[in-house]
Chain A
């Protein structure tokens, strides 16, 4: 399940343009691979993040993974719901499970990300 209106990174984050801002989360593929998300380390509002550099950490019961920024810019909002219920990343990765909202420094970076069609090929239809 990979909505056509999103862009996708090779590290399995999604990016959605919303009124000049970019909302970021992890894809259904990543959510299923992590399976039981129990902790997410979020950046502070105001933090500067850089294209395809780590901006946070996501932990399942078993594993620790970095979160990579699909766009450079300034974090303007973080999903505070994740502090108490990180499992919404598993149940609703494109909705309630969003992670950060970014004021992008260079929206053209999004063109370097994959389309849904390209991303589906990368993950081989898994999670569809």
Chain B
């Protein structure tokens, strides 16, 4: 290993494809193959295949599984039928976000959490610490995970599985699917790009077989391997939160634009008291999206200004390869959190103009 970083089962494939590898959350991951812009456009127009095997999986099973899931997340898992899923923050008592994740009901009394790589160990400890009357298993080491994303994803996947992926509704999961001859895979209609697509879980050692089959099946459809660089620009155009940048333990779902995931009426859950109060009083600050009005690129950590004074910090920023604009997000005081408000971004000692816009920056038609 040498550098002490963890490797996914596809490390050799990435190296052979000429990927540029970088550290991410303790893992050595491909940031790009052909180039971020090319991969980004491929996902918007055809399809991209991402290795996201670094992400974590935690299973909760037993009589107390549903009650435990409901205690842990802000969204409402109570209405999920087997095969259903949702996106949710998982909060501290302070309302700060431990992680954002997807949860699927994979059995009558079994739930699967798919969590961020950098927080996987913390999440497992938190979930285990607040689960009552159910088993909690960190199964991350057993599962490789691929994200097949883009308008051609359905057609490509149909070539390597008999599972009816085309009929799978958004945020639903098929377990025990056979994909590329590999039994025991799962398929969920989820992603982090703003496009239609799937996440495909496979037994760790079998992941290269599924990867190879998908690339082969997608060749005539314009499928390209895509790295974390394009994943970041795609998710930012779609205004998905990046944990550790846009949200963390010091921000709440109501400060972030995640109010739609907070179901106060479902009953007690961790962080509810603070969120009830924030909902009643309104939060002092909010995460907004902005576009630059002059040629400059906002980056994570740059200072924001409004009305001649400090206004906050950029949490994410990039040049959006599809929207072809410089875009960013950051927390500002409530008074500045309205579309049309003029902001300044401090870039190398100068203030560049920006304007608050409605999120997302990109929505597929």
Contact = CB atoms under 8 A, between A and B. Distances in A.
Nearest to B36: A61
A77 interface: no
Contacts of A61: 36-37, 229, 233, 318-319, 321
Interface in B279-334: 295-297, 299, 318-319, 321, 326
Interface of A: 35-36, 38-39, 41, 57, 59-62, 64, 83
A39 B299 CA distance: 13
B68 interface: no
Contact of A39 (B32, B36, B295): B295
Given A61-B229, A61-B321, A64-B299, A36 B35 contact: yes
A57 B319 contact: no
B320 to A, nearest CB: 9
Contact of B296 (A35, A39, A60, A62): A39
B296 A36 contact: no
Nearest to A61: B36
Contacts of B200: none
A61 to B, nearest CB: 5
Interface residues of B, number: 17
B31 interface: yes
A36 B36 contact: yes
Contacts of A83: 295
A59 B35 contact: no
Contacts of A41: 348
A128 to B, nearest CB: 15
A61 B32 CA distance: 11
Interface string B13-42: 000000000000000000110011100000
Interface string B227-241: 001001100000000
A60 B326 CA distance: 12
A35 B32 contact: yes
Given A61-B233, A61-B321, A39 B35 contact: no
B227 to A, nearest CB: 10
B321 A36 contact: yes
A61 B299 CA distance: 10
Contacts of B297: 38-39, 59, 64
Given A36-B35, A62-B32, 15 more contacts: A35-B32, A35-B35, A36-B37, A38-B319, A39-B297, A39-B326, A57-B348, A59-B319, A60-B36, A61-B37, A61-B318, A61-B321, A62-B31, A64-B297, A64-B299
Contacts of B296: 39
A59 B347 CA distance: 12
Which of A60, A62, A83 has the largest number of chain B CB atoms within 10 A? A62
